[in-house]
Amino acid sequence: MNDNNILSVRGLKKSFGKLEVLKGVDIDIKKGEKIAIIGPSGCGKSTFLRCINCMEDPSGGSIFFNDVDLADQRVDINIHREQIGMVFQQFNLFNNKTIIENIMLAPVSLTLKKIKKAKRKNFFTKVGNIFRKNKKELIKITQTKAEIVENARANAEKLLKRIGLEDKADVYPSTLSGGQKQRVAIVRALAMNPQVILFDEPTSALDPEMVGEVLDLIKEVANEGMTMLIVTHEMGFAREVANRVLFMDSGIIAEQGTPAEIFDNPQNPRTIQFLKAVL
């Protein structure tokens, strides 16, 4: 497999009952690419995005993320999901956590869980070492719990400062506007230092005047070199940010190319029809 490809999707299929939503999607995505996915509603673009991190279990095909097939049931999907951020249409901030807790929760609890696991493994290695001639090496645990929490908090504060919401650190999500919620959701994904971020219609649930602030943040993240896939209805945004646009129709990628190719000179009649309707 090509080393440059961070994601390679092969023959991806997904059915809900009898309804076949994805009918075999193939695509290679290089590190740092920004992919916009457009298409009529019901064409499977959100399903495609949700299959990439197995929020929907694929019915067939493979998803190679750094050469590991995520569609394989034996793969521990949780480890790889840490590397694949996701931003939802409905924000999905944790309602029972404050804003800063929302950002810190996953980094802290997942690191603590790993340490706990390492300690357990070390214990058995130590017991085993009593009987071994060649002593096995222990897993090094470098951080204490307090340090982990402190680092996560510092990082979360930095991220909040970046989106200008440091004064909202200790309030609950219900007090935030939609745009603020979505920006927090984006930095929550960033806090895991993912290699890819999936955006599932990030601005579709927002009031019109809040779309701009969210798109600006996404652009910023894009300019820092993050690999991203964005399902969107904002054609202007797709043209501006994406370096490749996928047009999906009835479960397949009907056409793909640079924004200029897709928006200015579409070839597929369905693309032409769709763009005529939305532009």
User: Is position 192 an interface residue for another protein (rule: CB under 8 A)?
Assistant: yes
Nearer Cβ to another protein, position 39 or 173? 173
Q: Under the criterion CB under 8 A, does residue 88 sit at the interface with another protein?
A: yes
Binding status of residue 120 toward another protein by CB under 8 A: no
- Told to check if 68 binds another protein by CB under 8 A, we report no
Whichever of 189 and 262 has its CB closer to another protein, that residue is 189
* Terminal C-alpha separation, the chain: 38
Question: Cβ distance 107 to 113 under 8 Å?
Answer: no
Q: How far apart are CA 242 and CA 220, in angstroms?
A: 13
Stretch binding another protein (CB under 8 A), from 91-99, 146-154, 159-167, 241-249: 91-99
Residue 202 interacts with another protein (CB under 8 A)?
Answer: no
CA dihedral for 233, 234, 236, 240, sign (positive or negative): negative
Does the footprint of another protein cover residue 109 (CB under 8 A)?
yes
Instruction: In whole angstroms, give the CA distance from residue 230 to residue 86.
Output: 10
Calpha distance 41→248 (Å, rounded): 10
Residues 30-59 touching another protein, rule: CB under 8 A, are 53, 55, 57
Tally Cβ neighbours within 10 Å of residue 269.
10
Summarize as ranges the residues that interact with another protein (CB under 8 A): 53, 55, 57, 78-82, 84-86, 88, 90, 92-97, 105-106, 109-110, 113, 170-172, 174-175, 185, 188-189, 192
